[in-house]
Structure 1
Amino acid sequence: MREASVFTVLTAALVISWARKMSVPCSLSARFKGSFAYFTVKDRLPQILTKVIDTVHRTKSAFLEEYGEEGIEAEKKALAAFSKLRNELHTDKPLLLLMDNLPDTELWNQYLEHQQSLLSENDQPSWFKSPWLYVECYMYRRIHEGIVLSPPLCSFDVFKEVKNESFFQSQQAIIALCTYLQELAKKIKDVGEEQLKEEFFKLLQVSLWGNKCDLSISAGQDNSQKSSPLASLTDLQSCILVNDTDHLWTVLSHGMKMRSSQASVSRVDIVLDNAGFELVTDLILADFLLASKLATEIHFHGKSIPWYVSDTTKSDFQWTIQQLRAANHRWMSKCGSNWDSNLKKEVWLYHDHLFWTLPHEFCKVAQVAPDLYTELQKSDLILFKGDLNYRKLTGDRKWDFTVPFSQALNRFHPAPLCSIRTLKADIQVGLKCGQGEQLTSSEPTWMISGQYGVIQFSALI
């Protein structure tokens, strides 16, 4: 991380200066040497690809056992595709059209053509010249292509092993949270409004700090939660740079009071980020929202394919609930059973629209995926978890720190929404005047270390 640790001091002034000359700030990109985007494309993405290659190679015997010689041939084909991809990345080769035939293939290839149209006639989109958000998403989509074009391995999740390990390595923290939730559930009907508000604030912060466990940032290295986050919440308060929790409480409590006089639905959507410990914190929060009657139904949105190492897929979502349900610990098992029941009763619903694994920023949802936008408009509150969602909400551009969050959303506003994120990319808006500069001076890595977080709300415009 040393190379990235000085990026702010070396390049932030240059990037901001360029951005200010434009009506819309420039995209973050690896073309800025010394930036976190440059460090990611140069070092972190190749490390992730190397781990993917290693995972496929180590699974060779399992492929042989399940598929025979066909499995071995598929393994060789996938390894060749990933090695080629890593070489393209290392040498800044032009980005290529996808060759599979999945429902999103045409959209990806159209996006590449759009990127080409923004360049001069003799230039081509490439790893170090194109927007960071695009090339990083593109790498994960090419990984999926390598698996899809290597039948019968088409459903193999190259990140499943590390996601599962992260879950098991966080067992003590998960036990602590499940125990806390079940003890709270016993008295939830007798809890007054002020205490209910305190519990909501507490579990929302648990969900925030759960976002530290990001395997794409650690390049697949152990990044699990070893101890209960509940004990450290007070100490972490000062690390929340924007805390709009009161606004969320206003939205949710108002809905609860309205429902006391009439039968109505109060829907909260959670656009998920990481599997493992973070997903458990999100499920804990969702359970509390139902039990407290702050919401009557929760809609979860995950990824349709393996993504950014640890992002939640439908398989991860179901596996996590079944792991808790089958656990030896009383309260873990109770949580798992309750959550499985919530799904069966359809007060919890899971969605995995393909838009979440496209390279587009979220202001394009209405244009690219109008069905998804219409679905999100049904929500009373949308919670966007994690760094990638924040980057897509704000267009992954080098905004000034004080630009209002609602402005950076660029008219994306299907419903009242909130970003819950620990900072792991060099982008942040909605800060007080001088706040970002002061942090840059005292802690050059504040935007990428994961030590700071935001709970950042924007009302429906």
Structure 2
Amino acid sequence: MAEPPDFLSARDVGSFAYITMKDRTPQILTKVIDTLHRHKSEFFEKYGEVGMEAEKKAISLLSKLRNELQTDKPIIPLVDKWADTDIWNQYLEYQRSLLNDSDRKPSWFQSPWLFVECYMYRRIHEAIIQSPPLDDFDVFKESKDQNFLESQESVNVLCTYLQQLTIEDLDENQLKDEFFKLLQISLWGNKCDLSLSGGESSSQKTDLLNSLEDLKPFILVNDMQHLWSLLSKLRKTRKKTSIVRVDFVLDNSGFELITDFILADFLLSSRLATEIHFHGKMIPWFVSDTTLRDFNWVMEQVKHGNHEHQAKCGGDWEKYVQAGRWVYHDHVFWTLPYAYCAMFQVAPDLYAELQKACLIIFKGDLNYRKLAGDKKWEFTVPFHEALNGFHPAPLCSIRTLKAEIQVGLPPGLAEQLTASDPSWLTTGKYGIFQFDGPV
């Protein structure tokens, strides 16, 4: 049997992992420190001297973290008392056990990229929870909210489109066309990623609906037909009482979350699904990832939007939540450094929850990295193989490419892309719908 491929790592000077650890992550940490600093007077007003001391403490912990990262220091155990602290520290021990030399310790630039990047965000969380009363302050909230507020025109266009769609009048082919259209909207919504932009604004300014035809050539793997076959078959064969559940493992809040809500709304309205389950993060993560607070905040903003179609969408979504047809879940596993093939062992309860789905949609780049184990796979390796035994239910990755990992491409395509567009893997310009499951 062939040796499994090596992990992506910042050891490879010049790689995207290296550039991320050398430039993008220190930039993100600097912005976090700056955010705390800008809220200084607010902390003082709210908490008095205690708030000022907490702000100083958090900044000092984050400055120490930035220094450790930039000087490639050994990774140190977590000292907080949060739900996952022991799991993280065991994982750190495991990483140490992989090094041949017992005196060596895993460090920022020598360890697997997925591990150290996740660890950095977990350390940001540690700095905040160790600084009460600021322990529930979301250092990324402002940029997530700004992303949504700056994308208002695009949000209005999508909400108007959805509200004016008379789904009951569509024949089978028209329904399929609309499904494909909203899948593509959800794909290109994934371009709005604040960890890629180092926390700089990445709001959606263009009208995506009118750009879909122009963007089609940039879809490298297009398994949309498999999704249609699966869901339309279930729609035709199910009994009145049976449940068709579609799960979204979410990525970014803001505009991308709106595109996911629009798709989820369409799935219910068209009866391609009877209930939608959303999986988000328990703590602020990778700058713009969705937490429960973001999920509720975005819905609330849409509901109170000063645009009739937007407000109608927000009202509908809130009703879905109240009726239990939209359900939000979070789980500590989503912010651990494990690839998803370890979920069955590490979080059997989450794996069992996902097994209830008829289809799981994994949004975005970090989910793809975890699905494929963040390894240096050959581009032509089948997606099924890269999943390494992770098959709780039929699943599909919807992502724009922002990391040097992609599998399941036809022979020759990667070489062709590299020749014409050397940074094709990391700019978010290309996208995929990659399905795994019985067809």
Partner of 1:97: 77
Q: 2:242 aligns with which of 253, 261, 264?
A: 264
The match for 1:172 is 153
Give the deviation of 1:262 after TM superposition.
4.1
Between the two proteins, the alignment pairs up a number of residues equal to 438
Partner in structure 1 of residue 337 of structure 2: 359
SS in 1 for 2:86: helix
Q: 1:211 aligns with which of 170, 190, 198?
A: 190
**1:197 counterpart (169, 176, 191):** 176
Counterpart contact for 1:303–1:354, Cα < 8 Å: yes
Q: Which residue of 1 aligns with 2:106?
A: 125
Q: CA deviation at 1:22?
A: 5.9
Contact 1:413 1:460 (C-alpha < 8 Å) held by counterparts? no
Q: In structure 2, what is the equivalent of residue 280 of structure 1?
A: 258
Letter in 1 for 2:225: D
1:139 maps to which of 120, 138, 158: 120
Whole-Å separation in 2 of the counterparts to 1:301 and 1:449: 26
User: Residue 209 of structure 1 aligns to a residue in which SS?
Assistant: helix
2:141 aligns with 160
Work out whether 1:300 is the aligned partner of 2:281.
no
Return the match for 1:79 from 59, 62, 81: 59
Q: Per-residue deviation at 1:23?
A: 1.3
Query: How far 1:235 sits from its partner (Å)?
Result: 0.5
1:371-396 C-alpha deviation (Å, 9 max, x unpaired) = 00000000000000000000000000
**CA RMSD of superposed structures (Å):** 1.0
Which letter does structure 2 place at the counterpart of 1:441?
A: A
Name the counterpart of 1:336.
314
Question: Take 2:328 and 2:59, find their aligned partners in 1: how far apart are those partners?
Answer: 32
**Counterpart of 2:191 in structure 1: which amino acid?**
K
- Alignment partner for residue 247 of structure 1, among 208, 226, 235? 226
Cα shift at 1:341: 0.5
**Residue 313 in 1 paired to residue 291 in 2?**
yes
State the one-letter code of the partner of 2:86: E
The gaps in structure 2 that reach 5 residues or longer are: none
Q: 1:153: how far off?
A: 0.6
1:190 Cα deviation (Å)? 1.5
In structure 2, the residue corresponding to 1:263 is in which secondary structure? coil
Residue among 188, 195, 199 paired with 1:220: 199
SS of aligned partner of 1:153: coil
Q: Residue 59 in 1 paired to residue 36 in 2?
A: no
Instruction: Report the AA paired with residue 30 of structure 1.
Output: A
Q: Give how far 1:263 is off.
A: 2.2
**Could you list the runs of 4 or more consecutive aligned residues of structure 1 that deviate by over 3 angstroms after TM superposition?**
none
Give the Cα–Cα distance (whole angstroms) in 1 for the partners of residues 307 and 46 of structure 2: 33
**SS of residue matched to 1:364:** helix
Q: In 1, distance between residues paired with 2:299 and 2:351?
A: 28
Are 2:373 and 1:395 aligned?
yes
TM-score normalised according to structure 2 size? 0.99
Q: Which amino acid aligns with 2:120?
A: M
SS in 2 for 1:161: helix
Whether contact under 8 Å (1:268, 1:381) holds in the other structure is yes
Contact 1:415 1:460 (8 Å CA) reproduced: no
In structure 2, the residue corresponding to 1:372 is in which secondary structure? helix
* Correspondence 1:377 to 2:355: yes
Deviation readout 1:341-391 (Å, 9 max, x if unpaired): 100000000001110000000000000000000000000000000000000
Which residue of the partner structure matches residue 26 of structure 1? 6
Equivalent residue for 1:188, pick from 160, 164, 167: 167
DSSP-derived class of the 1:255 partner: helix
**TM-superposition CA deviations, 1:315-356 (whole Å, max 9, x none):** 000000000011110011000000001000000000011100
Query: Relative to 1, partners in 2 of residues 1:455 and 1:161: Cα closer, same or farther, differing over 3 Å?
Result: same
Distance 2:14 2:106 in 1: 20
Q: Is the 8 A contact 1:174 1:228 kept in 2?
A: no
For residues 104-160 of structure 1, what are the alpha-carbon distances to aligned partners after superposition, in whole Å with 9 as ceiling and x for unaligned? 000000000000000021211000000000000000000000000000011000000
Displacement of 1:207 in angstroms is: 0.1
2:164 aligned counterpart, secondary structure: helix
Aligned residue number for residue 416 of structure 2: 438
Distance in structure 1 (CA, Å) of the matches to 2:346 and 2:173: 42
Partner Cα distance (1:427, 1:460) in 2: 24
Mapped partners of 1:47, 1:337: distance in 2: 38
Which of 35, 53, 64 does residue 15 from structure 2 map onto?
35
Aligned partner letter, 2:34: D
Q: 1:5 — aligned with what? A: none
Q: Distance in 2 between matches of 1:445 and 1:229?
A: 23
